[in-house]
Structure 1
Amino acid sequence: MKKWISFPKSAGEYSKQAHCDLPAGTYEREMGKEGFFGPACHFHHRHPPTGWASFEGPLHPHAFDLNELAVTSPSPWDAHLLFSNNDARIRFWQCQDAMTHLARNADGDELLFIHEGAGDLYCDWGHMSYRDGDYIVLPRGTMWRLAPTSPTELLLVEATQSSYQLPEKGMVGPHAIFDPAVLETPQINDAFRAQQGDQTWQVKVKRAGQMSTITYPFNPLDTTGWHGDLVACKVNWRDIRPLMSHRYHLPPSAHTTFVARNFVICTFAPRPIESDPGALKVPFYHNNDDYDELIFYHRGNFFSRDNIKPGMVTLHPNGFTHGPHPKAFEAGMKATRTETDEVAVMIDSRFPLEINEAAHTVEWPGYVDSWKPKK
């Protein structure tokens, strides 16, 4: 258990409650430890903490338009590698046709987030359909393939040398956010049995970053039954019921969907906006001092961002102070909206994410200037 140098103190003019009833004419900035879980201090500033006139150096934020990526081949191993570190590999893949081989990741669990499209997934445990907005968790070593019924675009997040787990939900109980009962698992059904046979199949396996191909004179997805407590599963964002407080803007960590070694995955789903007159209506300004924050924008109008559309990604490196764009902050102060309609996937990484070449080719270089005060 950590013993922080932590004791409540205060000075000057300040609010009694974080993110609420700010002193008139001030802007709140949170500086904390452990990504909203550790001790924190809330500063009140006369000017927006993001109101810079210029920004130079490698700390600046990034935005990428994945809609501009070239179409890849029908194999997840050819997906665009966008961001990576020792704990995660984040790829983007366009799968238009049924895979003609099986994939198997021996380096870690694989998470698929379906951005567009629909179809069928076949794996060791059986068959299940998928649609846009699905998260599909494939345990390390799973053999799998997709057979799209409509062109599919998806984010793939490898938990390198680790596993995906559900977050601890504490005092709100295990059925909050989403009940584990909504998790769907593959079935040994007619569709699964129909694809079995003695045709030649290849399994392309990634191990330690290197590829191997194993050829069988039959389809190795020939399971006739199984039992145990390790299984592929899926959940759709539409089944997620966000934690809410009408009097207090909750931190992103309240929306955690999965946890892995040194990173978490959070889901921002539609919810009512805070209604209390004194509560912030948009995300608070804060420092990313312990985590890189990467957000993939899936659907809707992103109420804290300007000029961001579905299929884009933003990356805020740790150490970078950020918060809502000026237009979003003004709209929030005027309480012009009563609910959000955004859907986004956030990956908070304890260690810096490397930006790979594929991401650089679709970067929006002007993103850092989008916080500048409008003249």
Structure 2
Amino acid sequence: MRKWIQFPKSEGSHSKQAHCDLPAGSYEREMGKEGFFGPACHFHHAHPPTGWSAFDGPLQPHAFDLNELAQTGRTPWDAHPLFHNNDTRIRYWQCSQAMDQLVRNADGDELLFVHVGAGELFCDWGHLSYRDGDYIVLPRGTLWRIEPTEPTQLMLVEATQSSYQLPDKGLVGPHAIFDPTALDTPAIDDAFLAQQGEHETRVLVKRRGQLSTLTYPFNPLDAVGWHGDLVACRINWRDIRPLMSHRYHLPPSAHTTFVARNFIVCTFVPRPIESDPGALKVPFYHSNDDFDELILYHRGSFFSRDNIKPGMMTLHPNGFTHGPHPEAFEIGQKAARSETDEVAVMIDTRYPLDIDTGAASVERPDYVHSWKPKT
């Protein structure tokens, strides 16, 4: 059990409550431990913490436009590699044709987020339809394939040598944010039974980053039934009911959807903006001291960012102070919006992410200058 060097103190002009009723003309910055889960200090600055006039060196934020990626092949092993560390590998896959072989990831659980498209997924447990905005959790070792009915683009988030779990929802109880009954599971239905048969089928298995091919004289997705408490599942962002407070801007950790070893996956969905006059209306400035922050912008207008569109990703590395862009901050100060219309997926990783070739090929190198005030 950890024993933090932790005791509440205060100095100078400060607010009584974090993210509320800031001293006039000040800008709040949060410095914390363990992301948003540990002890924290809130500073009140005379100038925006992102108000730099120049920025040199490797500690820079990154923006990537995935809309510019070239098309990929018919299996997820053809996907563009985006980011990785020892705990996760993140890829981006465009698929417009039915997969002509099965795949199995023996390295870790796979989380599919459907950014664009619709279709059918077949796996060990049966058949599941998918659409844009779906999360699909495939436990390590799952045999699966998809048949798009619309061209499909997916972000694939592998929990390397680990498993996806639901977050501890604490005082709000297990039914908050989404009830576990909202998780859909595959069915052994007519569509699943119809795809079975005595036709030769190849399976591409990934283990330690290498592919092996198993060839069967039949389709191994031939289950006639199953029972147990390990199963592939699906939830759509439209089924998520976010925690809200009209008097306090909640930290991103309040929107956690899945947890794995050394990283979490959060979902930002449309919600009312804080209405209390003293409450912050945009995310607070923070130092990102212990986690890398990666965000995929799925749809809508992200209320703390300027010039970011759906299909883009940003990476704010550990140690980089960031927060709302200047125009977004001004809109928040004026309480010009009553609700957000954004949908985004955030992945916070305890250890730094390396940028892979796919992301590097579509980077926007001037992103670090986007916090400069517009003249």
- The C-alpha deviation readout for 1:276-310, integer Å capped at 9, x for no partner, is 00000000000111000000000101100000000
Aligned to 1:40: 40
Aligned to 2:195: 195
Aligned to 2:7: 7
What SS does the aligned partner of 1:313 have? Answer: strand
CA distance in structure 2 between the partners assigned to 1:193 and 1:58 by the alignment? 54
Aligned to 2:66: 66
Amino acid in the other structure paired with 1:213: T
1:87 CA displacement: 0.2
Aligned to 1:212: 212
Gaps of 5+ in 1: none
Gaps of 5+ in 2: none
What SS does the aligned partner of 1:63 have? Answer: strand
Amino acid in the other structure paired with 1:360: A
Aligned to 1:117: 117
CA distance in structure 1 between the partners assigned to 2:188 and 2:75 by the alignment? 24
1:357 CA displacement: 1.4
Aligned to 2:17: 17
CA distance in structure 1 between the partners assigned to 2:175 and 2:261 by the alignment? 23
What SS does the aligned partner of 2:366 have? Answer: helix
CA distance in structure 2 between the partners assigned to 1:344 and 1:209 by the alignment? 28
CA distance in structure 2 between the partners assigned to 1:315 and 1:342 by the alignment? 18
1:111 CA displacement: 0.2
- Identical positions, percent: 78
CA distance in structure 2 between the partners assigned to 1:25 and 1:374 by the alignment? 19
Matches within 5 A, 1:319-338: 319-338=319-338
1:58 CA displacement: 1.0
1:201 CA displacement: 0.4
- TM-score, length-scaled by structure 1: 1.00
CA distance in structure 2 between the partners assigned to 1:78 and 1:324 by the alignment? 35
Amino acid in the other structure paired with 1:280: L
The runs of at least 4 consecutive aligned structure 1 residues that moved more than 2 Å come to none
What SS does the aligned partner of 1:192 have? Answer: helix
Aligned to 1:95: 95
1:248 CA displacement: 0.2
What SS does the aligned partner of 1:322 have? Answer: coil
Aligned to 1:168: 168
Report the count of equivalent residues.
375
Aligned to 2:311: 311
Aligned to 2:364: 364
Aligned to 1:141: 141
Aligned to 1:50: 50
Aligned to 1:273: 273
Q: CA RMSD in A?
A: 0.4
- The C-alpha deviation readout for 1:92-130, integer Å capped at 9, x for no partner, is 000100000001000000000000100000000000100
- The C-alpha deviation readout for 1:20-68, integer Å capped at 9, x for no partner, is 0000000000000000111100000000000000111111100000000
Aligned to 1:223: 223
CA distance in structure 1 between the partners assigned to 2:54 and 2:328 by the alignment? 20
CA distance in structure 1 between the partners assigned to 2:257 and 2:8 by the alignment? 31
What SS does the aligned partner of 2:47 have? Answer: coil
Amino acid in the other structure paired with 2:4: W
CA distance in structure 2 between the partners assigned to 1:373 and 1:132 by the alignment? 35
1:148 CA displacement: 0.3
Amino acid in the other structure paired with 1:194: A
CA distance in structure 2 between the partners assigned to 1:374 and 1:358 by the alignment? 31
Amino acid in the other structure paired with 2:148: P
What SS does the aligned partner of 2:328 have? Answer: helix
Aligned to 2:374: 374
- TM-score, length-scaled by structure 2: 1.00
- The C-alpha deviation readout for 1:156-184, integer Å capped at 9, x for no partner, is 00000000000000000000000000100
Amino acid in the other structure paired with 2:187: Q
What SS does the aligned partner of 2:215 have? Answer: strand
1:373 CA displacement: 1.7
Amino acid in the other structure paired with 2:29: R
Amino acid in the other structure paired with 2:343: V
